[in-house]
Amino acid sequence: MAKKTDALTRWWRGISLRAKVTGVIVAVLAIGLAATGVGTMVFLREALVQNLDSQLEQLQQTDVASNLFEIEVGPDAMVIRAREDASPTDYFVALYGPNADADGAFLLSAGGSGGPAPDFPSSFTLQDTYKLQNQAFFLEDVETGTQFRAMVSALPIGSTATFATQLIAVPLTSVNRVVTTFLGIFGLLALITLVAAALLTRLVVTLTFRSLGQVESTAMAIAGGDLTQRMTDTEPGTEVGKLKLALNTMLNRVDGALA
């Protein structure tokens, strides 16, 4: 009893060789383009994030806090408030309790240009600040899902020996915008490449298999009783040419046997 074939095997066998060759080539090309696009996107995003970290390091070396906050140090207390005339910025700054505050409680934040602010940690001690100084980390606005790259440093308060924790956060909006643009352009070019590859492969396969059509028509004529038919354009360097030579040789022997 013959073994029944599954539906997938029957479907594959029912596809023409021309379609199989075209499909396989386009599929392999699509996988290669997808892998290239994903790999390039990962490296591109990493490079952009590193560039953002460099910007954060430069911001830490400037007096960004004085542009956003008014800090008044009195004999008994220190008052910190956001400037009302502060210009919009591309970053956010948060201040945490000075070294007199062991808990490093969150004081206030300022900055930005109207976009969502990150969810700042509720506390940040100076001990943690010194541990993480010059080390960038991620923050997020849970409500909108916006991500930020942040860095902390110790901020001297006036001419006193008091230090507060300064946290600077830069949104990853520009990074995501560049990555999205890259994916859009790469996806469009990949689609054009796949369509062009499919059409070119189809054309090449059709031209290559045209000789097989001649073999088919000649074989049908021979099967109908016309033994005078012979294959032409027999290129011995190709598989189809070798097939034609073999058929011509077979027909010559049949003619010789019947003569």
pLDDT tens sequence across 219-251: 787 777 777 777 777 777 777 778 788 888 887
Q: What is the domain count for the chain?
A: 2
21 located within any domain = no
| Structural domain ending residue among the three candidates 171, 193, 222 | 171
Q: What is the pLDDT of residue 195?
A: 94
Q: What is the pLDDT of residue 100?
A: 58
Q: Are residues 68 and 167 in the same domain?
A: yes
22 located within any domain = no
Q: Are residues 117 and 165 in the same domain?
A: yes
Q: Are residues 219 and 164 in the same domain?
A: no
| Structural domain ending residue among the three candidates 153, 171, 189 | 171
70 located within any domain = yes
| Structural domain ending residue among the three candidates 171, 201, 226 | 171
136 located within any domain = yes
Q: Are residues 157 and 218 in the same domain?
A: no
* % of the chain surpassing 90 pLDDT: 35
Residue 214, token pair as written in the block: 């001649």
| φ and ψ of 85, to 5 deg | -100, 20
At which residue do the structure tokens 């097989």 appear?
212
Q: What is the pLDDT of residue 33?
A: 95
Q: Are 95 and 162 in contact (CB under 8 A)?
A: no
55 located within any domain = no
50 located within any domain = no
pLDDT in tens, 81-113: 888 888 888 999 999 887 655 678 888 999 888
187 located within any domain = no
Q: Are residues 223 and 167 in the same domain?
A: no
Q: What is the pLDDT of residue 231?
A: 74
User: Which uninterrupted H or E stretch holds 111?
Assistant: strand 106-111
Q: What is the pLDDT of residue 76?
A: 64
- Strand, coil or helix: 115: coil
Q: Are 110 and 82 in contact (CB under 8 A)?
A: yes
Q: Are residues 93 and 154 in the same domain?
A: yes
Beta-carbon count within 10 A of 170 CB: 24
Q: Which domain holds residue 231?
A: 210-258
DSSP for 79-148 reads EEEE-TTPPP-SSEEEEE--TT-TT-BEEEEEE-SSSPPP---SB--HHHHHHHTT--EEEEETTTTEEE
The closest alpha carbon to 78, from 158, 179, 134, 180, belongs to 158
Residues of the chain whose pLDDT is less than 70? 1-5, 74-77, 99-102, 159, 258-259
Residue 70, token pair as written in the block: 């008014």
246 located within any domain = yes
Q: What is the pLDDT of residue 192?
A: 96
* Dist. CA 155–CA 98, nearest whole Å: 9
